Amino acid sequence: MPADRSLLRGWAALTALVAAASLLLQYLLLVNGPGGSAGIAAATLGFFGYFTILSNLAVCVGCLCLAAGRALRATPAAVLALCIGVTSLVYAVALQGLWQPTGLQWWVDMGLHYAVPLLYLGGWLLLLPHGHLRWRALGRVLLVPVAYLGWAMAVAALLGQAPYPFLDWQRIGAAAFVLNVLRVAGVFVLGWSLLWALDRWRRR
């Protein structure tokens, strides 16, 4: 096997391992903590209501495919980079100051919001092939946050609590809710534009 291929598969396996371990530990901490008091079904639904969980899960699956020797097409690989990058950025800017995790929860927090994003983004930039990304794919890419918004609202309706405080429209009001949605949409647009520019740069 060529050395670069070995490096690619090793990076993918490591990224998948860190993501899987962080996800599993987060789930166990949730269902065995205060979040599990409402029952396993509600705790599980709440767990999968977070974009952090879904983006890390998607990266884990994608990297498992790469580690197994399967290729990822340019757009799906970049969408994973976009989603996990947005996960880290939104957490660092808007959510990190809202709580102070300790112990195992601190390690999980670092894994989901920093280690996995850095690992995947670094590997996407340096190890995956480039030159086939299209900026006009943005329209399809934006279906991802739109679909998540619908899912988050469904989870909020079922559990009586939105996954994130900036999506709790009953508490913050409709105007602030719409503004927050537009801000996140703007992050996705800027993020995709940055990835497209990096893809063109790496092609050269």
> Looking at residues 153-177, what average pLDDT do you find?
94
The average pLDDT across 102-128 equals: 96
DSSP classification of residue 158: H
Q: What pLDDT score does 188 carry?
A: 97
Q: What is the pLDDT of residue 22?
A: 98
List of residues 6+ apart from 23 with CB closer than 8 A: 53, 56, 57, 60, 112
End-to-end CA distance of the chain: 26
Share of the chain above pLDDT 90, in %: 85
The answer to whether residue 175 scores a pLDDT higher than 50 is: yes
Q: Average per-residue pLDDT in the chain? A: 93
What pLDDT does 2 receive? 41
So what's the pLDDT on residue 182? 96
Which of these, 27, 52, 49, lies nearest to 40 by C-alpha position? 27
Residue 64: which pLDDT band, with cuts at 50, 70 and 90?
very high
Check residue 38 and give its pLDDT: 77
Closest CA to 148 of 95, 101, 90, 64: 90
Residue 1: pLDDT above 50? no
* Per-residue pLDDT band at 3 (split at 50, 70, 90): very low
Which of 137-149 are b and which e, b meaning 16 or more Cβ less than 10 Å from the residue's Cβ? eeeebeebbeebe
Average pLDDT over residues 132-142: 93
> CA angle 194-91-36, nearest 5°?
140
Neighbours of 159 (CB within 10 A): 15
**Tens-place pLDDT, residues 110-119:** 999 999 999 9
Alpha-carbon gap, residue 62 to 190, rounded angstroms: 23
Tell me how far apart the alpha carbons of residues 100 and 114 are, in angstroms, rounded to a whole number: 15
Angle, alpha carbons 56-72-124 (nearest 5°): 60
Looking at residue 39, its pLDDT comes to 87
- Mean pLDDT for the stretch of residues 85-106: 92
R_g (Cα) of the chain, nearest Å: 18
Query: Of the candidates 101, 26, 92, 28, which has an alpha carbon nearest to the alpha carbon of residue 56?
Result: 26
* Cα–Cα distance measured from residue 131 to residue 154, given in angstroms and rounded to the nearest whole number: 38
The mean pLDDT value for 141-169 works out to 95
